[in-house]
Amino acid sequence: MRDKPPGDPSGRVTLADLNEAAEMVRELKKPGAAAKFVNWSRKHSLWPIPFGTACCAIEFMGMVGSSLDLSRFGAEFVRFSPRQCDLMIVAGTITNKMAPVLKTIYEQMAEPKWVISMGACACTGGMFNTYSVLQGCDRIIPVDYYVPGCAPRPEAVMYAILQLQERIGNETGVLSSKERHREAWIRGVKGRGRTPKDQLLRGGGE
Amino acid sequence: MNQQAQPAIERLKNTLGGKIQEVYEDGRGLVVRVGLDSVPAVLEALRSDASSPFDMLTDITAVDWSRWTEETGMQPQARFSLYYNLYSVSAAVRLFVESWLEDGQEAPSATPLYASANWAERIVFDMFGIRFSGHPDLRRIYLPDDFEYSPLRKEFPRRGVDPQDFPQE
């Protein structure tokens, strides 16, 4: 970079100015101070939205309650409006009739957004291996972390949030929405061993 | 309890005796079996009974007997049986009305008599595919509107029809 402040004395924008601006943009895109600052502020201000449809939501209430107190880790405000949230916690059984609602609420959330699937029902359908229950919410939305248990201990969900914070802190650059979705889909699919979706996402061949 | 329901059945026999096919008692209590067409008349008579008016229709449910023969060797009267669970609030008496029908046969709706029959009949329609003639708004209540099956029929697979739902099979 040049030592003197940018700008031609005559007031015209020069090629050097444009080059410098482009270099600054490139710097911001690199895993540098700006990205670290953004990651740091994101990971300590997660605003969860509980998609609570069953008993896991009660454990979630225990987690945000005063004795366990999720706000110690910077996930303070539980919001019930998807526009104000960036972390969806799917807590409970998702029936096929509820699935479009879940999908709509997920899509209403602003980027960047993450999803924690809490409990056996949200992860795999759980014991409800029947015609009416969605066999895992990762069939319709990308899931970042799966928490096993029926219902999981609040500490387990906290651990997932801490893991998520660690991953947000180590993110390099800013993934686009499409990239993030693809990454989360593939991560979920690998964990579940669901080959048809995997092939679909990777373009067939593998 | 059944002692109390007995007078109401006697009165019913006096007025609509020809329509009652059988009265029997099992673990649920007293059950009155009637023909499908006479269900509304019997329900109306029970609702306006002199000493124990059955003013509350607690539930309507059905049973699919299509596997009954291969499981027990016995022959059911028809494909489905409908059960109307009636209760008299003032006399604290419970009574069941039973009626049999074949697949594709329409049952007369009890919604003009009991408002609670509206949703109960929708549940039976949702789960068994039994249609009720005269129902004001017969559509699915639990399952999605585009669901094509009747899941409590015996031939419906428990895990559903989506091949993704059974990866090992």
Query: Which of A97, A135, A196 has the CB atom closest to B165's CB atom?
Result: A135
Are A130 and B159 inside 8 Å of each other by CB? yes
Q: For residue A122, give how far its alpha carbon lies from the nearest alpha carbon of chain B (Å).
A: 14
Residue A94 domain-assigned (yes or no)? yes
Q: Is B149 on the interface with A (CB under 8 A)?
A: yes
User: What average pLDDT does this structure show over B11-35?
Assistant: 86
C-beta atoms of A131 and B149 within 8 A: yes
In a domain, A162, yes or no: no
Q: How many domains does chain A have?
A: 2
Query: What's the CATH code of the domain at A135?
Result: 3.40.50.12280
Question: Does A143 share its domain with A206?
Answer: no
- pLDDT tens, position by position, A163-175: 999 888 887 655 6
Say yes or no: A193 and A118 in one domain. no
Whether the predicted pLDDT of B49 surpasses 90: no
Q: Is the pLDDT at A4 greater than 50, yes or no?
A: yes
Do the chains contact at B151 and A131, CB–CB below 8 Å?
A: yes
Q: Closest Cα partner for B119 from B56, B44, B51, B60?
A: B60
Q: Does one domain contain both A110 and A205?
A: no
What domain range is A74 assigned to? 45-155
d(CA A190, nearest CA chain B) in Å = 15
d(CA B47, CA A178): 62
Q: What is the pLDDT of residue A10?
A: 66
Q: How far apart are CA B98 and CA B32, in angstroms?
A: 6
Q: What percent of chain A has pLDDT over 90?
A: 20
A150 and A181 in a single domain? The answer is: no
- The full set of domain ranges for chain B reads 2-165
In a domain, A82, yes or no: yes
Topology given in CATH for the domain delimited by B2-165:
Beta Polymerase; domain 2 (3.30.460)
Same domain? For A188 and A135 the reply is no
Confidence at residue A184, expressed as pLDDT on a 0 to 100 scale: 62
**A50 occurs within a structural domain:** yes
Mean pLDDT, residues A1-17: 64
- Contact between B13 and B45 under an 8 Å Cβ cutoff? The reply is no
| A196 located within any domain | yes
Do the chains contact at A132 and B167, CB–CB below 8 Å? no
Tell me if A180 is assigned to some domain.
yes
pTM: 0.74
User: Which chain A residues are Cβ-neighbours of B160 within 8 angstroms?
Assistant: 130-132
To the nearest whole Å, the CA of B115 is away from the closest chain A CA by 26
Whether A132 contacts chain B with CB within 8 A: yes
Q: Across the interface, do A97 and B165 touch by the CB < 8 Å criterion?
A: no
Same domain, yes or no, for A100 and A187? no
A151 plus A181 within the same structural domain:
no
Least confident of A50-54, B1-5, B29-33: B1-5
B contact residues 55-114, partner A, Cβ 8 Å cutoff? none
* ipTM tops the 0.90 cut: no
Q: Is the pLDDT of residue A201 over 50?
A: no
Q: Does A187 touch chain B (CB under 8 A)?
A: no
Query: CA angle, corner A61, sides to A55 and A67, nearest 5?
Result: 130
Q: What's the average model confidence in pLDDT over B69-81?
A: 90
Please report where in the chains the tokens 């209760």 appear, as a residue.
B87
Which pLDDT tens digit goes with each residue over A95-153? 988 888 998 899 899 878 889 999 999 988 888 888 888 888 888 888 888 999 998 99
Segment B112-127 shows an average pLDDT of 93
* Same domain flag for A119 and A181: no
Average pLDDT, chain A: 79
Mutate which: B148, B161, B164, vs A, most A CBs within 10 A: B164
Q: How many CA atoms lie within 13 A of B123 on its CB side?
A: 12
Peptide bond into A82 cis (omega under 30): no
Q: Do A109 and A189 lie in a common domain?
A: no
Q: Is A135 on the interface with B (CB under 8 A)?
A: yes
Which residue of chain B is at minimal alpha-carbon distance from A124?
B165
Which chain A positions have a beta carbon within 8 Å of B164's beta carbon?
135, 139, 196
**Does A25 map to a domain?**
no
Query: Which of B144, B149, B162 is nearest residue A97 as measured by Cβ atoms?
Result: B144
The C-alpha atoms of residue A98 and residue B99 are separated, in whole angstroms, by 35
